[in-house]
Amino acid sequence: MIQTVCVAGICESSAALCGFMLGNLIPTPQFSDHAIPVSEQPAASGFWWECLDLGLLLVALVLASYFALVVRSRRSLFWLSAFSLVWFGFIRQGCVCSVGSVQNVAYAMTNASYAVPLTVIGFFCLPILFALYSGRVFCSGVCPLGAIQEMVAVRNVQIPKWIDHGLGLVPWIYLGAAVIFAASGGMFLICRYDPFVGFFRFNGNAGMILFGTFLLLVGVFVGRPYCRFLCPYGALLSACSGVSRSNVRIPPGDCIRCGLCRDACPYGAIEPPTETATDQEAVSGKRRLMIVFAATPVLIIGLAIVGYRLGPALSGLEFDVQLASQLQHEAVDPQWPTNDASDAFRAAQGDADQLLLDAVATQHRYRYAGVGLGVWIALVVVGKSVSLCRRRQQDEFVADRSACVSCGRCFEYCPVEHAKQGVVGLPTIQGEHRP
């Protein structure tokens, strides 16, 4: 008993001593004079640097088109990718980026006071113009995000088509969310959740660094996972490439149906020859198409309602809404732990009522943004369903204009390509069709 009392007394004395020492050695910070710092944007690059970036982008796009459509050289495209990764990625640190420029354009279309820099307009428009003429050559050798994935794609495994189709919806949904949020004055999703910019700048959010590392590890076995299943700008380019004037064609001459190009493509972008649809298959396809059209209004209305209800939850990604919620919790529950943001807000004597009004306005705005996003997702699902109901007739292996990123891997495996270049004799044996 005596020992327990002594131990308790020693502990109390030690605690008091420690408190006295800490109080003198590490004084408690006072926030009474603290002012919340104003967010500062990084200084823009010099005018001539921006002109140089735009000029190099144009030259790189011309070279990528030449290497993919005329020379048909996988090696040249690879080295062009390496240059783009070094310049647009590590030296220019991923900014200006064509992928993120979508948000600048969307925001400028709804905010008259925001002027988009000409450089950003150039980075947004040039890859689209080239995609309309020569396919996704921007993805093949110019985009630093695609290049860093191309460098690690050494042991690719083709994934099942149903997974490819399902995950292929994500970039379109991401594109819609990024455009709607930016246009409504919200966050720039693409920039905030860029998985590779942290590598380019040798710093960044730990979560995004881990996500980028995960994508690169997956990219060793699954070709370009970000480009295929996440990139919103890639979705836009795929639509333009689908109606492009020219595109990568396999083979350059008569197809011998060997199927080597399809096996070599890590993106599942080579489509095999198809048989003529039977009468029963044609009727079945029309029936599925009618079901899709009949379900379209229900899907649009249902997802619009879901989007409206999810609006407040989506607004929780905004800092003002997070801070207002934190202050409300602290006001209701005295035991609720404070955080740095709420402490700084009180120390700066911020107007909590005004913050709450702003948060409510943000939630209201996000409700309408959620409706727009719901309608967009419904249209994406309908469009994908319609495309799956269609059956295209083709007699040889062809590159899917929308999915092909013009990487040139198929060139190296096509025997007709080798014969054209004089590497081997012209194949004479007709291979079997391998659907």
Domain boundaries, the chain: 52-255+400-410, 279-389
Task: Tell the burial category of 353 from Cβ atoms under 10 Å away from its Cβ (0-12, 13-18, 19+).
Answer: exposed
List the one residue out of 210, 172, 173, 208 whose CA is nearest residue 191.
208
Is the CB of residue 112 less than 8 Å from the CB of residue 186?
no
Span 141-183, pLDDT tens digits: 899 999 999 999 888 888 888 898 899 999 999 999 999 888 8
Number of helices (H) and strands (E) in the chain: give both, helices first: 21, 2
Amino acid at 320: D
How many residues belong to the chain?
A: 435
* Banded pLDDT at 240 (limits 50, 70, 90): very high
Task: Tell the burial category of 412 from Cβ atoms under 10 Å away from its Cβ (0-12, 13-18, 19+).
Answer: middle
Q: Is pLDDT of 251 > 80?
A: no
pLDDT of residue 37: 60
> How far is the C-alpha of 235 from the C-alpha of 219, rounded, in Å?
19
Is the CB of residue 68 less than 8 Å from the CB of residue 406?
yes
Compare 39 and 86 and report the one with higher pLDDT.
86
pLDDT of residue 71: 87
pLDDT of residue 275: 80
> How far is the C-alpha of 283 from the C-alpha of 16, rounded, in Å?
86
Range from 57-61, 408-412, 416-420 carrying the lowest mean pLDDT: 416-420
Q: Is pLDDT of 184 > 60?
A: yes
pLDDT of residue 433: 43
pLDDT of residue 428: 53
Structure tokens at 11: 């502990």
Q: Is pLDDT of 7 > 70?
A: no
Q: Which residues contact 47 (CB under 8 A, 6 or more apart)?
A: none
* Banded pLDDT at 284 (limits 50, 70, 90): confident
